Amino acid sequence: MTGPAVIKAVTVAAAAAITLPLLIIVLVTASPAPQAAVGLSGVTALAEAGIPPGGGRPAGKVAATAIAFAKAQLGKPYQWGAAGPDAYDCSGLVYAAYAAAGIRLGRTTYQWRQDGPVVPLSQIQPGDLLFSAGSDGTPADPGHVVMYLGGGQVIQAPQTGQDVQVDPVDLASVVVATRPAGLAAKPSPEPHETPAQEASS
Q: Which of 90, 125, 153, 197 is the catalytic position? A: 90
As a whole number of angstroms, the distance between CA 125 and CA 146 comes to 13
Q: Which of 156, 162, 165, 197 is the catalytic position? A: 156
The answer to whether residue 156 is catalytic is yes
Q: Which of 123, 144, 159, 192 is the catalytic position? A: 144
The answer for residues whose C-beta is within 8 angstroms of residue 199's C-beta and 6 or more apart is 91, 108, 109, 110, 134, 136, 137, 141, 142, 143, 144
The answer to whether residue 153 is catalytic is no
Alpha carbon of 55 to those of 37, 58, 119, 186, 199: distances in Å?
Answer: 20, 8, 15, 14, 33
The answer to whether residue 192 is catalytic is no
Enumerate the active-site residues: 90, 144, 156
